[in-house]
Amino acid sequence: MDWHTYEKQARFWECSFWILLASVHTLVDSLSVIEDYRRLGLEIETWQPFTWESSSQFMGLVLIPLVLWFDRRFPMHGNQIRKGLMAHLAFSVPFSILHVTGMVWIRKFVYLAMGGHYDFGHVLHEWVYEYRKDLISYAWLVGVIYAYRFMVSRLRGEAKVIETGEDTPSTKFTERFLVKKIGKEFIVKVQDIEWIEAAGNYMELHVGERVYPLRETMAGLEKKLDPDQFARIHRSYMVNLDAIQEIIPLDSGDSKVRLKNGQELNFSRRYREQMKGRLA
């Protein structure tokens, strides 16, 4: 499978990775607990450690989308590293509360189904104990996410605006982006970009089925692109006017923009009049 094929199925492989990782952790940790009990000469039913470990891993999986959402709001990039780091440190507290609450209720339900009773113990004392472990798990989780993004950016290629001195001097708008990918450099023409999506501290440039991350803000990029060619349609989207197939009104008063490639994007009312002026 080449990288281009992987990108088409990225969500599937990402989910599969986390599920596989959680499954391996559950199996290894459960067997380790069973072995520890045996060494101490204590008896334990096999389902108990598997319940403990699987409930913890399951809640970790459930909370991954929440961590990704929070990281989009407080990314750790550039001059925002310190702010993002402090925000993530603070967020580890509600993360741990949700994680512990969820896994305890899962354990209570399983124990009840097995004819037993699960006692978590003193809530505050036990949570402090669990938080120390959750803090490490949270840091590891965020570390894996950033390592994966770094790997993807190297394989996918990261775009940057060609400086004025390198660009055509007859225009004030950017016409090309320089993309670095696995030690190579090549040019992406602005006219080939179909739409642009905000993703944290990056703008994702969609060219056919390929996506190139650009470290820039939406407002900053909007100033660099020709307004006769690109229009903002949403706080998170900008489109190439030549790539639009139709605009579909919705009952809510907003609309959807359907591109020629079949992609549909939300079109906010606040940008409608501005769009009409450009299409007139």
pLDDT of 150 reads 80
Least confident among 76-90, 96-110, 139-153: 76-90
How many angstroms separate the CA atoms of 233 and 239, rounded?
Answer: 7
Longest CA span, the chain: 82
Name which residue leads in pLDDT, 277 or 97.
97
Indicate whether 26 pLDDT > 60: yes
Q: What is the structure's pLDDT at 182?
A: 63
Residue in 216, 171, 166, 164 with CA at minimum distance from that of residue 191 = 171
Q: DSSP secondary-structure letter at 260?
A: T
How far from 46 is each of 9, 32, 38, 194, CA to CA, in Å? 37, 11, 11, 55
Of 261, 131, 273, whose CA–CA distance to 207 is shortest? 261
Q: Calculate mean pLDDT across residues 2-11.
A: 70
Per-residue pLDDT of 195-219, as tens digits, reads 999 877 778 889 887 888 888 888 8
Position 188 confidence tier, pLDDT thresholds 50, 70, 90: confident
Domains of the chain (ranges; CATH) run 3-156 (no CATH), 158-279 (2.40.50.1020)
Total-model pTM: 0.62
